[in-house]
Amino acid sequence: MLDNNNGDMNSRKPLIYYVIIAVTILLLLNTFIFPLLLARQVQVVGYSDFLSMIDEGKVSEVSLTQQADQILFVAKNDQGQEELYKTAVFPDEGLITRLQNAGVRFSAEIPTQNNTLLSFVFSWILPILIFVGLGRLLSNQLEKRMGGGMNALSFGKADAKMIVADKETGVTFADVAGEEEAKDALKEIVDFLEHPDKYAGIGAKLPKGALLVGPPGTGKTLLAKAVAGEAKVPFFSISGSEFVEMFVGMGAAKVRDLFKQANEKAPCIVFIDEIDTIGKKRDGAGSIGGNDEREQTLNQLLTEMDGFDGKKGVVILAATNRPESLDPALLRPGRFDRRVPVELPDLQGREAILRVHAKDVKCEDGIDLKEIARATSGASGAELANIINEAALRAVRLGRQSVNQEDLMESVETVIAGYQRKNAVMSEQEKRIVSYHEIGHALVAAMQTHSAPVTKITIIPRTSGALGYTMQVDEGEHYLMSREELLNKIVTLTGGQAAEELIFHSITTGASNDIEKATRLARGMITRYGMGEFGMVALETVNNQYLGGDTSLSCSPAYSEKIDEQVVALVKQAREKADRILRENEAKLHELAAYLMKQETITGEEFMRILNAKPESEAAAEPAAEAEKEA
């Protein structure tokens, strides 16, 4: 989140700094300014004037001995106000009698300080005011530094971060690549914020709120900022979790304050990130231990959304990746009635996102971002941004000045499979097993017409725990998967273990990930895609379509048992097919595995070249015998 940086900078100065400044100011005031202000104005008059003033009865008080060379005296001026005068000492014997005759009080000393009220103000009230002001300043600073921690003491002030649009967000639609549909939907809001009268003229009401819905990292937050940046309006951003406060009622107070601020700054955008934290469906009446605080906050939000004037130009954007959990009251017309899907990018979108982020790093000429986009099917914008950054880091590590294609490809693998474990040493036997396992996958994939060709096979261990893997990249974008493709995929997944068993007559734990994936696919085919014996019946429902898509069973236990039986049968069938393919191509399996063991990483082209070459019976037979001996 971009927030107002200036404020932050100030709060980083040590508090002691302020104390020192204040004390210095006070000292200066005390020694120089106060005495000047407090001192009476002293007027100098001649001795003869002094005498005549005595005679006229204006003088009330005289100090004779305070200073050796001058006489201080108090006399009424022309307006009848008492003022302080001084005159030079004159050898005058008769002065005392003259003073006595005029009835003037004379003494050794008269006060040079002005009236007591003023001095009270300067010596007491002002310092107190200064200290109180200072205290408030300090506590404000403290609060800012402690962030949420001090909120309990600030009683419900929303600390939404306000960003002055054109300067600070600096994000525009150009920074959000792909997501054309989402941008189109939001352009209307931008237009509304720029020309509200155009809409008011025709009587059109724009949606008060729009809900950005999509998987994590697809650019929802980025889009909201871009709307503010495009419309050049203030952007209030608050995260749903920030509403949940220490004391009951604080969240609601925050909502109130947030909307008050927004109303003052209209037109503006209020962005509530992760709204699902407060917008969850409210519990039914009977439930015990419902979250009162959250419900109060939500109720306040609903009230505020109804309460403010839609024509004023406050647009509320919210983001969530769990739309199905939101309270229906939030989604009705007049609230978040507009839904803007922010989906995972497709091939073109991925290329565009890569291009946007590649602009920030120095790249060699002729890098092929399309290839990277093809290799990253299913990756989110955030992951793609990360891939570019990882590539740049790799380039630096290798002491290069710019990013090349190899950096990018390597970082794709880093993001997918983790870093290479350079110092992990596999025994020769393990290396052999992994080689056969991976070639098993690749060979089965290549032998089935519907499978995408392999692009890379490696047996370099990764930090994610993978000992090797086979990378498959689709040529184009896939939106639908046919039954055959799904089946082939399952067969390919079983190919690894099938190869292990065929060659070594024993299997390892290395296939656990394959097994998981194969099971999930098979299950989906039967319970969700209507490809099993039960036909078009939904036996499972998806809970969180944007968050991993975990499912829950929605059928009777009897059916559940049958589903399991069918899943087992399906995967078993697939495995038998993989076994058959590998048996038929055992020579190629040996040849390719031996090559992979030597090279550790081979490309799709190399793989296909060896696969399509005439079988070299000599070369192929040898490693086979060797492997079997050791197993």
Q: Which residues are catalytic?
A: 438
Name the nearest CA neighbour of 269 among 299, 229, 301, 304. 229
If one counts every other C-beta atom within 10 angstroms of the C-beta of residue 196, the result is 17
Sole binder of ligand ADP in the list 217, 313, 496, 623 (CB under 6 A)? 217
CA 485 – CA 477 distance, rounded (Å): 14
Strand partners, 168: none
Report the partner that residue 627 touches, choosing among ligand ADP, Mg ion, Zn ion, none (CB closer than 5 to 8 A by kind). none
Q: Is 177 in the site for ligand ADP (CB under 6 A)?
A: yes
Contact flag: residue 229 with ligand ADP (CB under 6 A): no
**Judged by CB under 5 A, how many residues of this single chain contact Zn ion?**
2
**Residue 505 CA from chain centroid, whole number:** 51
Which H or E run includes 515?
A: helix 512-527
| Residue tagged 């590998």 (tokens) | 582
176 binds ligand ADP (CB under 6 A): yes
Give the Cα separation of 38 and 21 in Å (integer).
24
**Tokens representing 405?**
């294609």
Which amino acid, one-letter code, is at 539?
A: L
Q: CB-wise, 62 or 177, nearer to ligand ADP?
A: 177
List 63, 141, 169, 221, residue binding ligand ADP (CB under 6 A): 221
Give which of 352, 592, 320 is closest to 470, Cα–Cα. Answer: 592
Of 103 and 216, nearer to Mg ion (C-beta) is 216
Look at the chain and count its residues: 631
Q: How far apart are CA 391 and CA 357, in angstroms?
A: 11
Q: How far is it, in rounded angstroms, from Cα 215 to Cα 343?
A: 7
Q: Cα–Cα distances in Å, from 511 out to 75, 133, 213, 362, 567? A: 109, 69, 35, 40, 18
- Determine the size of the site formed for Mg ion (CB under 5 A): 1
Cα separation of 523 and 512, whole Å?
16
How near is the Cβ of 316 to ligand ADP at its closest, in Å? 16
- Closer of 253 and 459 to Zn ion (Cβ): 459
DSSP letter for each residue of 187-244? HHHHHHHH-HHHHHHHTPPPPSEEEEE-STTSSHHHHHHHHHHHHT--EEEEEHHHHS
Peptide bond into 615 cis (omega under 30): no
- For the CB of residue 1, give the shortest distance to ligand ADP in the complex, in Å: 9
Phi, psi dihedral angles at 367 (to 5 degrees): -80, 145
496 lines the binding site for Zn ion (CB under 5 A): yes
Specify the stretch interacting with ligand ADP by CB under 6 A; choose among 25-33, 101-109, 217-225, 299-307. Answer: 217-225
* Min separation Cβ 474 and ligand ADP, Å: 21
Which does residue 492 touch among Mg ion, ligand ADP, Zn ion, none (CB within 5 to 8 A, set by kind)? none
Residue 464 tokens, joined = 């994610």
Mask for 311-330, x = binds ligand ADP (CB under 6 A)? --------x-----------
Q: Does 353 bind ligand ADP (CB under 6 A)?
A: yes
Exposure string for 307-316, b = 16+ CB within 10 A, e = fewer = ebebeebbbb
179 contact choice in ligand ADP, Zn ion, Mg ion, none (CB below 5 to 8 Å, kind-dependent): ligand ADP
Q: Which residue from 46, 57, 216, 549 is in contact with ligand ADP, where contact means CB under 6 A?
A: 216
Among 229, 240, 323, 381, binds ligand ADP (CB under 6 A): 381
Is residue 185 near ligand ADP by the rule CB under 6 A?
A: no
**Stretch binding Zn ion (CB under 5 A), from 121-129, 290-298, 342-350, 491-499:** 491-499
Is the distance from CB of 588 to CB of 620 less than 8 angstroms? yes
Nearest approach, Cβ of 514 to Zn ion (angstroms)?
A: 4
Which residue's C-beta sits nearest to Zn ion?
496
The residue count for binding ligand ADP (CB under 6 A) is 17
Element (H or E) spanning 251, and its range? Answer: helix 250-265
Q: For Zn ion, which is the closer residue by CB, 269 or 459?
A: 459
The residues, any chain, with a CB within 8 Å of residue 50's CB and separated by 6 or more, are 59, 71, 73, 85, 87
Report the C-alpha gap between 589 and 436 in whole angstroms.
7
Site for Mg ion in 186-225 (CB under 5 A): 221
Helix, coil or strand: residue 315: strand
Candidates 21-29, 64-72, 214-222, 257-265; binding stretch for ligand ADP (CB under 6 A): 214-222
Residue nearest to Mg ion (CB): 221
Residue whose tokens read 């996102």: 353
With respect to Zn ion, which residue has the nearer C-beta, 234 or 496?
Answer: 496
Q: Which does 496 bind (CB under 5 to 8 A by kind): Mg ion, Zn ion, ligand ADP, none?
A: Zn ion
Partner in contact with 514, chosen from Zn ion, ligand ADP, Mg ion, none, beta carbon below 5 to 8 Å by kind: Zn ion
Q: Which amino acid is at 483?
A: R
Select from 159, 242, 304, 514 the one that contacts Zn ion (CB under 5 A).
514
DSSP-derived 3-state class of residue 386: helix
Which is closer to Zn ion, CB of 381 or CB of 468?
468
CB of 416 to Mg ion, least distance (A): 22
Nearest to Zn ion of 221, 472 (CB atom): 472
The DSSP call for residue 359 is: T
Closest separation between CB of residue 589 and Zn ion, Å? 14
Specify the residue, 177 or 301, whose C-beta has the smaller distance to ligand ADP.
177
Q: 280 pairs with which residues across the strands?
A: 326
Residue 379 or 442 with smaller CB distance to Mg ion: 379
Measured from the CB atom, the residue of 217 and 524 that comes closer to ligand ADP is 217
Q: Which of 51, 169, 173, 179 binds ligand ADP (CB under 6 A)?
A: 179
Q: Which of 299, 239, 231 is nearest to 268 (CA)?
A: 231
In angstroms, the first-to-last Cα distance of the chain is: 57
Fill in the amino acid letter for 368: D
For residue 178, state whether it binds ligand ADP (rule: CB under 6 A). yes
Nearer to ligand ADP, 219 or 440 (CB): 219
Contacted by 461, from Zn ion, ligand ADP, Mg ion, none: CB < 5 to 8 Å by type: none
From the CB of 214, what's the least distance to ligand ADP, in Å?
Answer: 6
Segment 15 to 74, residues that bind ligand ADP, using CB under 6 A: none
DSSP code of 267? S
Residue from 165, 363, 385, 447 in contact with ligand ADP (CB under 6 A): 385
Binding status of residue 461 toward Zn ion by CB under 5 A: no
Closest residue to bound ligand ADP by CB: 381
Which chain residues interact with Zn ion by CB under 5 A? Answer: 496, 514
Which chain residues interact with ligand ADP by CB under 6 A? Answer: 176-179, 216-222, 319, 353, 356, 381-382, 385
Which chain residues interact with Mg ion by CB under 5 A? Answer: 221
